[in-house]
Structure 1
Amino acid sequence: MRRHAGLGLCSACWQKHPDRPFIAAEHLAARLAEPVPWLGDFAGYLADRHCVGRACTMISTLGRLLDDEHPNHPQALLDRARRPGRSMGSLARALEGFFTQRGLALPSDQAQRLAAGRRRRRIEATPLPLRPQVQAFAESMLRARERAVKAGTLPRTDSTIEAALAIVRDLARFLSGTRNKQDWALTDVHDVEAFLATMPKARQRRLTVLRQYFRFARSLKIVLIDPTRGVKAKAHRGSAAPPSPSTSSDNCSAAGPPAPTRTLTSYCSESWPSSTRPPAVRSGSCAWTTSIPPTAPSAWANGRIRCPWTRSAGRRFNAAWPTARTGTPTTPT
């Protein structure tokens, strides 16, 4: 037994002394009828990862577990150290990391328990008339994940399944509360569009999950028609509003303001405006603004209709006017 390191130290210095966890482990091993061989290594494991006070507290809690009538096998000790509820406790997490690192015990199923609890809470938050179908959808996703694991493909993660259940739960709440529908068979495309419009930024992700759910529901005859068929992943964009008519006194008459017209402004280098964008403005260019394009004087040149304003060959925009050649060519007046 090593000499007590706290002799000659004040209380504050003793509480922070780095040898406290090791001394506590030695005292515990001396008190046990059958000391476990890994206790000293576990004290070092705690000292490297926790403060002195927390490490000593966990060693004291471990001592109460080792003193009871249950077996002290690492796997059984890990099961007893785990707390009920959503958190397994700091001692159980430390024992799990220590035992699995040294191959003394298998990892616990705490992550699976937490994921199952999250899925259960999302299903229970679904309105009661729509809940059994959501439960069946969750079980189908879990079976699909098991098949993917066996096949060696990429399975769904817990977060993916939970996100899908949350979207279906939100749809069920929307149908029950806003649309007053208590049956999945009554869902139509207008309900889906209204639900997707509540969160436009999440439209694509929500629509993907809804398509998966209604394919599953249609396979079980829960719905006869898939309401997501024909729904676009991108929201519809409205056309731009037409320009408002001019209200100046110069353009007004007794008959009222003139009808809105489309103003065409073109800059070119001695060439007729075309549907393509002209080159940049250079010196000597002409420009005009008009509501109705002037009549295009056309003439036949080399078998094509050419514009008199177009320069000779060698320029970029010297092609013929882009119209169909129908009828007899006209002669410019």
Structure 2
Amino acid sequence: MKTKQATLYRIVFILLWILPALLMGSSTGNDLQNVSEISTYLTSQALNGSGGGWIVFYSGRDGNNEIYLMNADGSSQTRLTHHPASDVCPAARSDGRIVFLSDRTGRSEIYAMEIDGSDLIQLTDSPGDKEHPAWSNDGRLIYFIKDFQTRTEMWVMNANGTNLTQLSSSLARDERPIPSPDGLHLLFMSNRFGNYEMMVMDSDGTHVRRLTDSPDHKIFPVWSHDGTRIAYSVNNLRLRTAVIHTVNADMTNDRALTPTGGRNENPAWSSDGSRIVFQSERDGNFEIYSMNSDGSDPKRLTVNAYWDGWASWVSFVLPSD
């Protein structure tokens, strides 16, 4: 019952966002008359070759860090959280449920809410700051790290915060675990070898393998939704530059997508793989941009004097019940 209620809230909220499109469709004789048609419309917006969907991110524009939602073109930027604590690092599930970090209890813990900011619940409460939450592709699991400053641990739990399971334990910093679309592997960044490199392991924490080996830091790696490519950022601390790259999952055909000046970080794929959203300080401070997956057609999505970043694509898909 709770799942159906939550789904209804999501539908109502999303309808408010697509109402102009619905009205436009009506004026041309293409009315959307039932939930099935609405679902088809929403899916088409996510798969129409232009990225589509929505983007969730965090910003300090209103005095402290809060979670926001916007259309994929940067329009209709809407604040979702309202709390004096710092709310950061959102990640969205395909049905619109969002996990994020907040220090409202004095320590960074994981929270979840609906796409309109309702049904807010705290999922974790244990030693160590929680960081980098990420959904499994089926939405049943949440991967994250516990940060003990000099080292981190990677963990996984059920979507409701139960059954916490530790996946890694090292003296290094293993960060940003991202599950593969098939759920079999975890992509992450680690400084086990000195600088940050991309690594992968089985989803149960076994068979850890190193993917890259070069002087610069490889940070924020993320799978494409079909699992064939990885986007990441190459960070040169000496020059204070970061360049976004894509590479095939087998580490072939590595390509730089952004200019070498400034820092371009934290890429995230659209569900159809056509666009990549990222944060960049190319215009003075960190703002959110998107570009085609080959690096062409860069567009600035946010414009203000405060930090905007950690963008995650939302491609709303109704559950099958």
So what's the TM-score if we normalise by structure 2? 0.18
Larger radius of gyration: 1
Q: Which has the higher strand share?
A: 2
So what's the TM-score if we normalise by structure 1? 0.18
Q: Which has the higher helix share?
A: 1
